[in-house]
Every structure is written in C-alpha cells, then in structure tokens.
A and B are shown apart, each in its own frame.
Chain A
Amino acid sequence: MKKQLQIILISCLVTALSACSDPKSHATSVMLLLDTSGTYTKELNKAQSIINYILGTLTSGDSFAVARIDSGSFSEKDIVAKMTFDDRPSAANSQKRTFQAAINKMVDEVKSSTYTDISGGMLQAIEYLEETGAGNRHVFVFSDMKEEIPKGHVRDFPINFNAVTVTALNVTKLRSDNVDPREYMSRIEDWRNKVESSGGTWRVINDLDRVETLLQKD
C-alpha cells in the first residue's frame, strides 16, 4: 500500500513537472549562406565579422551552420561548419573557438565558383533548420542575390519558408544594376515574394554596422 502511494505521488510530481515544461523551443538556429561566385569572394572578410558577431550572440543550446553558395549548393559538402552549442557555457565557448578557426580556414582557402545556386543553398538551410527543431529560425544570405543555375538543375519550385526569417546581407549592386536599377529591385522583390508567399519573413540589411538587429531572440 505504501509503495503504491509512493508511485502515485512520484507520477503526480512527474506529471506536474512535465506540465510546467514549455513545449515551444526557445533555442535559435542560424544558417549563413556565403556566396562564393565571381568577384563576391572579395566580400568574404565582411562575412567573417558577421559570423563572429553571430557566434558571440548565440548561447548554449543554439545551432549555427555556415555553408557556401556555389554551382550546386544543395549538398552537405558545401557546409563549412555546423554546431549545436553545448549546454555548459564553458564547453560552448570552446566550440565557438573551433567554429571560428574553421571559418578562418575557409576564407583563406576559398575558390570562386562559376554559378550561384542560391535556391539550392536555401533548400539546404531549410532542411538544416528543420532538423535542429529550434523555435527561432534564421537564414542569412551573404550574396548579391543574383542566381545563376547550371543547365539541367531544377530550382523552379516553391520552397517552404514557414516560420523562417530570411535576411539578405550586403546585397551589392552589380554593374548592370547601375545601368538599370529596376533589375536590382526586381531581384530583391522576387526573393521577397518567394519567402513571404510561403509564410516566411524577409529582410534586407546592407548597412553592416547595424548588425545588432540580426538576431531577435525570445
């Protein structure tokens, strides 16, 4: 009888505690896509400082990945570094150091690609964010947002951006944009439509001095 009472009490306690736990994840998951096509590789130093800022902002339990956008970006090979930070802050700090070293190495050794498969990179990012199960999901695209897909690659289908915030960073103006600025605007508008039509949020940040608005955590 006493044992039964103990079991009932313990199960009540467990039920109460599980009822207290928040079903929504408060963790943040970030995927940063780096355009390595053409002359954009010169901009990677700026991307490095953005990555360092994000590393400093993320905390235990958050996830971060950096991937290249090249000729075929829907591939795990393009992921430069990815990590879910440890629960213990000290371990998370050492993970961040390792991450930083991996990014530094990539920036030093990067080679420019012929094509720019942004959609492939986006798909890869969405897949990664879904895997982490985080409550706050961000995709940062460090690119001029001009997509150039190799022949035979199919990217003309809707992507599910539901509950994902997509931020285009440092969207540089191309020479052709200077001739006809409508090209630049239509490029940005196309991506906005793609993201917002499938339930995502779209932002453009060109002034990299205002990076503090990048991550708005719960």
Chain B
Amino acid sequence: MTFSEIMAIWWPDQAGVSAAIWLVVIVLFMWLARSPAHRAIKSFSQIIRNAMRLSAHSVTSLEKHLRERNRQVLLTNGMEDTERYIEREFQRVEDVVSRDLSGYPSLQRELKDQITQIDDDYRKSAEVPPMPQNYIDAIDAVSKIEGNGDPMVTKILGEIQTTMRHNSEKEISEYRHSSKERHGLLKTMMPYWRNLSKTLESVEKKIVGLEERSKVIDAQIEKYEQIKAKTDVAERILSSSSMTQFFTSGLVLLIALLGAYVNFQLIALPMSEMVGGAARLGPMRASDVAALVLVFFEIVLGLFLMEAFQITRLFPIISSLDDKIRKNMAIIAFVLLFIFASVESSLAYMRDLLAADREALTQSLAGMTVEAPEFRWITTAGQMTMGFILPFALMLVAIPLESFVHSMRTVFGMIGVFMLQVLAFVIRQLGSLASNLGHILLNIYDLVIFIPLKIEQSFGSKNKPDIEKDTEKETKTKAKTNTEFKIKTETKTESEKDSVISN
C-alpha cells in the first residue's frame, strides 16, 4: 500500500478531505497521548543530557589526570636537568680546585720565598753607609796654617794636607760605591715585585672564577628547590622552556634532515655502481636504500659517540657503563665514523666521475663535440670535502634530538590537555543542546495540538496544562534547592566562625 493510497483511505475520491480527516485523527491521537509523549520526550532528552554530562565529567577527569601527569613529568625532567647542571658545575669547580688550587701550597711557598728575598734585599738596601767625615774644614784649616818660613814645618803641613785629602777622597769613593750597591739591590727587587703582583693577580682571577661559579650553582640550587617544592612558578618556567626547546630543536633537526638529504644525494648515484642500479627493494631502488642505510648508520654512530662522551643521555645503559668501556666505545665509534667519512669522500669522487661520463655521453648523443669543462677539480674537491665532513656534522644531530625527544613529551601532553578540554566543552554543549531540543519538541508538540488544548482549557478543566504545571514544578524545585543551599552555606559559615573563635 502506497502513501497516497493510505492518505486516500477515508475518502478515495476527495484526497483533500481524506487528508483533513487524517489530520484530525492524528491531532486527536496526539492530544490523548500528550502526557506519555511529553514524558518520553523529556526522559529521552534527559538521558542524552545526563550521558553527555557524564562523558564530559569523565573527559574532564581524564584531562585533570593528564595535566597532573604532565606536571609530574615536567617537574621530574626539570629536576633531572637541574641536577645534571649542578653536577656539571660542581665538576667544573672540582676541576678548577684540583687543577689550580691543588698547587696552592707550592704557590704559597713561592710567594713566601719571593717575599723573603724582597725582605732580605730590603734589609740590605736599608743599611745606610756612614757619611764621610768632614775633612774639608780640617784640610782648609791646615792649609791656612803658616809655616813661618820653616821648610820643615811647611813640609809637615803639606804632608798632613795630602794625607787628609787622600783619606777624604777614599771615604767619598767608598760611600759612593756603597750607595751604588744599595741602588743595585733596590733595582733587583723590581722583578720580584712584578712576579709577586702577577702571582697574586692569577690567584685573584681563579678566586673570582670560583665565586662566579658558586653564584651559578646558587641560582641552580634555588631553581632546584623551587622544582622540588612543585611551585607554579617552576612549572611555568619549565613549560615555557620546553616549548622553546621543542621548536628550537625541531628547527635544528629540520636543518639536519636537509643535511642528511644532501649527504644522501651525494652517495646515491655512486652506490648504484656498487649495488647495481636496477635492483629494487620494495618501491625503492636498492642503491637508494644502501645510501640511506649508510647515512642512518652514520647518524647512529654519532649518537653512540655523543652518548659515550656523556654529552647526551638518550640511552641510560650507556651512561651507566664503566668509564673504560665507554672510552673504548667512543674510540670504536669514532674510528668507524672516520672510515665511513672516508668511504663517503671516495663515493663523492666516484659520483663526479660518473657525472662527467654521463655528461660526455649526453653531449655525444646530442651530436655535440665532447669537451672536458675547465676547473672541474673545484667541484670534485668540493664534493669530496662535503662527503668527508657531513658525517661528522650529522654526528651533532644527537644533541637537538635529545632536546626534541624530551620536550616532545611535554608539548604533546599540553596538546593532549587542550584537546581534552575542547572535547569536554563540545560534549557539554551537545548535552545542553539535547536538553534544549527536548523543550523545543515539547512546545512543537503542544503547538500541533493547540486546538484541543484550548478547548480543554475552556471546558471544565480548572487545572492548567501539564507543561505549565511542569514548568512551575521545576521552578519550585529550583527555588527550594537554592534555599536549602543558602541555609547550608550560612550554617557552614557560622560553624566555621565558631571554630575560629574557639581556636
């Protein structure tokens, strides 16, 4: 039976009248079934709303859990990083102390010797030679005595004068010699003073360096304490630091990826000479796979080298190895890396030869005269150098990789929290939408049967329609709940006040 046949069931010739009868029947039926229909719509919308609220609650609790987990991870990572930083700073201080200040006793001895030497020299220079006696007046007085023509007296006086002058000259000469010696001693003190000054300056520098290190350690210890106390400030600083690290290391990794691509291009063509250009592994050429493997192997060796030097700590097992084993591991990794770099360099040379051969063939096929380009050696040398250096440059990828891996956990956690927040919001909105849709459906239902409803209101029934009753009921319930809540809050506040007073 088709829809039109059903429609025309009342009055087959008059489709309009038949449809009107259907409408009356439906409206009548809806009016009779109003109460159960209303209840069904209400409970259905309520079920959806509750389900959505429950889901939103679950998502919110999951978000809180994830946020807490992120916080824990962030603080733990921050604590580990700070511990490592402080450890390194202490290591540096220890190095300074053991390298420079371990020689402090000998330095002290040296200083003491220098001071003693200066002291001796000073003492010696302090011995002032006696001033020569004042012969001038005596000689002058003797020269003024007259001999009264007696040649004997004149001779004696002359000899006295000569002797006195001679003595005077001798004493002056001795005095000058002694002063010269004193000045000499003072002069020899100069380099000792300078040495002393230099030694003290170097000691001062070391002490200042240590002081600066101690300031850095103080700052780190303060940060460590904040992290340990799980303060919001510490969390905020660590989050921001993680985001910065994530983007910076991501950028560096991208550049490293481009470097790896250049490296790959450098060795892919000559690899086809070694492993064959036609063989394939899946959709890729075997030569390309071999070149990729070589590049990845170099990166892995670089990682191990960095781990062995304890610059990065991606593999805790390597960090926990014995120092001697780590040293051997570093040597092996470096030797292998050196060999790979040499192989790459030779492959780069082969690439240049192949490119030249291909170029010559292309020229020949195009009917041109084959000419060897000038200064080809420059590109050859450039390619060989790049082939040798790139593996060592790729070795440094380990550092940004470590930062990226560590910060990725935090950043992805943040994104997860954000997504869960959005999801909870959407679910809550859907629940609210379901509830509102229920109300709208109820109103539409009543709109369809408004004629029988009006008649019901006019004839007899003093009672209001159910929907109005329900609304009133809901309003009363809400008011009651609010009043109860107010009373409870007031009671609670009063009891709290009482407890404070009693305390």
Contact = CB atoms under 8 A, between A and B. Distances in A.
Note whether A and B form a binding pair: yes
Interface of A: 17, 20-22, 26-27, 49, 52-53, 55-56, 59-62, 87-90, 92-93, 96-97, 100
Contacts of A52: 365-367
B362 interface: yes
B277 A89 contact: yes
Contact of B279 (A87, A89, A100): A87
A88 B280 contact: no
A178 B365 CA distance: 35
B362 A92 contact: no
Given A87-B277, A88-B276, A93 B282 contact: no
B277 A59 contact: yes
A92 B277 contact: yes
B470 interface: no
Contact of A88 (B272, B353, B362): B272
A52 B367 CA distance: 9
Given A88-B272, A89-B273, A100 B278 contact: no
Given A21-B281, A22-B283, A89-B354, A56 B273 contact: no
Contacts of B365: 52-53, 55-56, 96, 100
Contacts of A61: 276-279
Contacts of A49: 367
B370 to A, nearest CB: 11
Contact of A20 (B277, B281, B353, B366): B281
A119 to B, nearest CB: 31
A97 B280 CA distance: 26
A22 B282 contact: yes
A93 B358 contact: yes
B361 interface: yes
B331 to A, nearest CB: 30
A89 B272 CA distance: 7
B361 A97 contact: yes
A17 B280 CA distance: 11
B265 to A, nearest CB: 15
A62 B285 CA distance: 14
Nearest to A92: B277
A87 B283 CA distance: 17
Contacts of A20: 281-282
10 contacts: A21-B280, A22-B282, A53-B365, A55-B365, A56-B362, A61-B276, A61-B278, A87-B278, A88-B273, A97-B364
Contact of B358 (A21, A53, A89, A100): A89
A22 B285 CA distance: 10
Chain A at the B interface: SS class = helix
A46 B358 CA distance: 23
Nearest to A52: B365
Contacts of B364: 97, 100
A55 B366 CA distance: 11
Nearest to B350: A90
B6 to A, nearest CB: 55
B420 interface: no
Contacts of A21: 280-282
B306 interface: no
A21 B281 CA distance: 5
Interface in B327-357: 353-354, 357
Nearest to B361: A93
A56 B361 contact: yes
B277 A60 contact: yes
A52 B269 CA distance: 22
Q: Which 8 residue pairs across A and B have the least CB separation, nearest first?
A: A61-B278, A60-B277, A87-B276, A52-B365, A60-B278, A93-B361, A87-B278, A56-B365
Nearest to B358: A93
A90 to B, nearest CB: 6
A108 to B, nearest CB: 15
B58 to A, nearest CB: 43
Q: Which one of B280, B281, B353, B362 has the greatest number of beta carbons of chain A within 10 Å?
A: B280
B354 A90 contact: yes
A16 to B, nearest CB: 11
Contacts of B357: 89-90, 93
Contacts of A87: 272, 276-279
A31 to B, nearest CB: 19
Contacts of B269: 89
A123 B250 CA distance: 58
Given A52-B365, A60-B272, A27 B358 contact: no
Contact of A96 (B278, B283, B353, B361): B361
A89 B367 CA distance: 21
Contacts of A90: 273, 353-354, 357
A63 B359 CA distance: 21
A54 to B, nearest CB: 10
Contacts of B358: 89, 93
Contacts of B280: 21-22, 26
